[in-house]
Amino acid sequence: MISAASGMKARMESLDMLANNVANSATSGFKADNEFYTLYKEQLPLIETHWTDFSQGVLTPTGNPLNLALAGPGFFALTTPGGVIYTRSGHFRVSKTNQLISRDGYPLRDIVNQGRPIEVDPVQSIAVDKSGTVSQGGQSVGQIQIDQLPTVADATAKLGNTYFAWRAPSTPPAAPAASGEPSFEVQQGYIEESNVPVADSAVRLITVMRQFEMLQKAVNIGAQMDKEAIEDVAKPS
């Protein structure tokens, strides 16, 4: 019963994770969560921890010059009241104060201007080259900060569905756009789709639900056996 109950708990966590993946399969820049399995000591049941799949999603053309996608590694850096956060979702717009901002109003950081917002002329067309340099009328107005988050266990935390926070201050993110040839390309007029494999996730959902049902039956059988054992002991000889 203990083994079955532990298995049910693990399956519930898996169902929540898979359901969130499927719900965000159409969310641009969303990165799917997956399971990592380990064992309790003394052969008790498997438990799960989650990890995020940072593989690139499909880049889809939109024709909107304020839609940006990254081909290759890296994240757009944004300034928030709580500090710097990161995203792969490239839905940007011009604010009322003429700054390039995310959908939720967080300014893109200018890597050549100490992270200050990038200010643009709202009546002029905006061009963004492969390195993230923003130009208007043939003149550069800033360069988008695009950071590479090092692969460190538990260093990157999800904030909602499209944002990430860096939790390892002793190992700061690198800025590939600031030194040498960047390992990414900014694609203007494109959006990166979610990297959730929808069909696979749906199959896994069904499989996990069936596993949960089987474990639930095992718990019920164990409870019935305990009940019968107690009743037998209580009977007069």
- Per-position pLDDT tens, the chain of length 237: 667 776 777 778 888 889 899 999 999 999 998 877 665 544 555 655 678 899 999 999 999 999 999 999 999 999 999 999 999 999 999 999 999 999 999 999 999 999 999 999 999 999 999 999 999 999 999 999 999 876 555 678 889 899 999 876 666 676 654 445 568 999 999 999 999 998 888 888 888 888 878 878 877 777 777 676 776 666 665
Q: Kindly give the interhelix angle for 2-23 and 198-234, rounded to the nearest 10 degrees.
A: 160
Instruction: Return the pLDDT at 201.
Output: 85
127, 65 Cβ separation under 8 angstroms: yes
Q: Tell me the C-alpha distance between 17 and 214, whole Å.
A: 20
47, 6 Cβ separation under 8 angstroms: yes
| Predicted TM-score (pTM) of this structure | 0.80
